[in-house]
Structure 1
C-alpha cells in the first residue's frame, strides 16, 4: 500500500505539488492521470525517494522507500525506460541489478521471457526501439517479484500486442493482491485497465474515486433515438428539463430523460422507434471536463 499525506514540493518559486494526499490500495489498479505539468512524475519520484518533499510524507507499507532493506523485492518501479547503460545487453543489465539484491540468475531469465525479450536478450540496450526499451524497463521492475508496482507510461511506444500484454499483466498483478500505480495518457486504455483513479491538475488532487464513479459524476447520460417520425418525438420529449439534439437521418440525442420514459412517450403517441439506446460518457469525456481549466500547456486550436 502506498500512502501519501499532504505532499508538497517546490522547485524554487515553482510549486509542482501542493498538499496531495491519496492511498494506493492493494488488489487494485490505480490510474494516475493529469495533464502535462500536473505533478504526476514529481509525485512518483517522491514516492521512491528521488525527490524529497518540501513538506508532507509518503510511505510504502508504512515505511519510507529509503528505509526499505531490499527495495527491488518490495517495489517495482518504471519511471524512465532510458535509465540503462546503453553498452550493456538486456541480460547483463538485469543481472547487474539482480546481483545488488542477491536475486537468482534464473529470475533474470524468467522476466526476460515474461516481457518478450528472449530474442534480443543479448543485444545492446542502446540499439533498442522505444517499445523494446519499455519492455526492458518493465522487466527490471518485475525482477524482485515485488508486491507494489509503480509504472509511469508503461505502454509508451508499445505495439498493440504489447499494450494488451501490459493491460493483462497489471490486471493479473492486482488480482494477486499487489498494489499497482499506473500512469498513462491513453484514456481508452486506462478505461480498460484501472479500477480507481487519482487525477491531478496543477499539482492538486482533482478527483480520487473509483473509475465508474468519476465517469458517472462528470459525464452526461443521454439516449440515442432513431425514428422515421423523429421530429414528432423531439417535439413531444422537449421540455425545460429535457434537451433534444437532431443528428439528421431520423437520429436524435435526448438528454434529461431515460430510455424507458422516451419509449413510453413514443408508445402513447403510436410513434415508431427503430432504435432506443442509452449512452454514457467516456473516461476521456470526464477527464477533459475535470481538467479543462487545469491545463498548463495549452495548444492553439486548429481551424
Structure 2
C-alpha cells in the first residue's frame, strides 16, 4: 500500500506537486498517467525518498521509505534504467545491490533468468541495447522480492515479446497481492495492463478510478462516416456551430464525428438525400478518455 496525504513539492517558483492525496492498493496494477510536467516523476521520487516533500506525507505500508530497515525487500523501483555503471557486468551490478541487503547470489541468478538476461549476465552493461537495459532495471527492482513495485516506463525499448512479458509479469505480481504502480505514456499497453488509473495534471490529481469507469466517464460519442458526399454532409453536421461537435478527417470521403450519435448523423444524411457507405460507432478507448481529460492540463503543447 502506498498512501499520499496532502503531498506537495515546490522547486523555486514551480509547484511540481500540489496537495495531492491518493492510495495505491495491493492486488492490482495501478496506472500513473499524466502529460509531461504533470508531476508524475516528482511524485515517484517523493515515494522513494529521493526528494523531501514541501508539505504532506507519502508512506509505504505506513512508513516513510527512508525509515524502512530493508527497503529493497519492501519496494522495488525502476526510475532510470541508465543509472548503472557501464563498465560493470549485469551480474556484478546486481550482486553489488544484493550485498547491501544480504541477498544471496542465488537470488541474483534467479532474477537474471526471470528477466531473460542469463546468457548476457557476464557482459558489460555499456554494450546493452535499450531493451536489455530495461530488463536489467526490472531485474534490480525484483531483486529483493518486494511487496511494492514502482516502475516508470518499463516497456520503453522492448520488442513485442518483451512488452507481453512485462504485462504478464506485472499482472502476475498483482495477483499475488503485491502493490504495482506503473507509469507509462503508452495508452494501448496501459489499457491492457492496469486495473486502476490515477491521472495527474499540472501537479494535481484529476482522476482516480477503476480503468473501466474512467473510460466510460470520459467517453464522447464518436462515429466513423464514409460517404461520396463528405463535404456536403460535413457542412450540415457543423451547421449549428456546436463547439462540442467536431469532425476528424481520416481519408478522402471518410471522417469521424465527435459529439454526435450514429442515429443523429444517419438522420441528417437521410433527410438530405446523402448516400452513406459506412456509419459505425467508434469503441471508446483509454486514449480517448485520457486525451479528453488532460486537454486543459498540458504544460507543453505542440504547434
Partner of 2:169: 169
Structure 1 residue 181 displacement after superposition: 0.4
Partner of 2:202: 202
Superposed CA RMSD in Å reads 3.3
Partner of 1:87: 87
- For this pair of structures, how many residues does the alignment match? 300
Q: Distance in 2 between matches of 1:171 and 1:43?
A: 23
Deviations 1:148-203 (A, max 9, x none): 10001111111111111111111111111111000001111111111111111111
Q: How does 1:7-22 map to 2 (within 5 A)?
A: 7-22=7-22
Of 266, 275, 297, the residue aligned with 1:294 is 297
Structure 1 residue 39 displacement after superposition: 0.7
Q: How does 1:100-119 map to 2 (within 5 A)?
A: 100-119=100-119
Structure 1 residue 250 displacement after superposition: 9.7
Deviations 1:34-73 (A, max 9, x none): 1111110110000010000000001111111111111111
* Structure 1 unaligned blocks of 5 or more: 229-239, 264-272
TM-score by length of 1: 0.84
Structure 1 residue 258 displacement after superposition: 7.5
Partner of 2:272: none
Do the aligned partners of 1:45 and 1:51 also contact (CA within 8 Å) in 2? yes
Structure 1 residue 221 displacement after superposition: 3.3
Q: Distance in 1 between matches of 2:102 and 2:18?
A: 39
Q: Distance in 1 between matches of 2:257 and 2:37?
A: 37
TM-score by length of 2: 0.84
The ranges of structure 1 where at least 4 consecutive aligned residues each deviate by more than 2 angstroms after the TM superposition are: 221-228, 243-263, 273-281
Deviations 1:62-99 (A, max 9, x none): 11111111111111110111111221100011011111
Partner of 1:183: 183
Q: Distance in 2 between matches of 1:52 and 1:244?
A: 44
Matched, 1:151 2:151: yes
Structure 1 residue 279 displacement after superposition: 3.1
Q: Distance in 2 between matches of 1:4 and 1:297?
A: 26
What is the DSSP-based 3-state SS (H/G/I as helix, E as strand, rest coil) of the residue aligned with 1:166? helix
Partner of 1:137: 137
Q: Distance in 2 between matches of 1:137 and 1:196?
A: 24
Do the aligned partners of 1:134 and 1:156 also contact (CA within 8 Å) in 2? yes
Q: Distance in 2 between matches of 1:28 and 1:91?
A: 30
Change (3 A) 1:21 1:90: same
Q: How does 1:231-246 map to 2 (within 5 A)?
A: none
Q: Distance in 1 between matches of 2:256 and 2:154?
A: 37
Q: Distance in 2 between matches of 1:51 and 1:14?
A: 15
Change (3 A) 1:259 1:37: closer
What is the DSSP-based 3-state SS (H/G/I as helix, E as strand, rest coil) of the residue aligned with 1:293? helix
Change (3 A) 1:4 1:244: closer
Deviations 1:112-138 (A, max 9, x none): 011111121101112211111111000
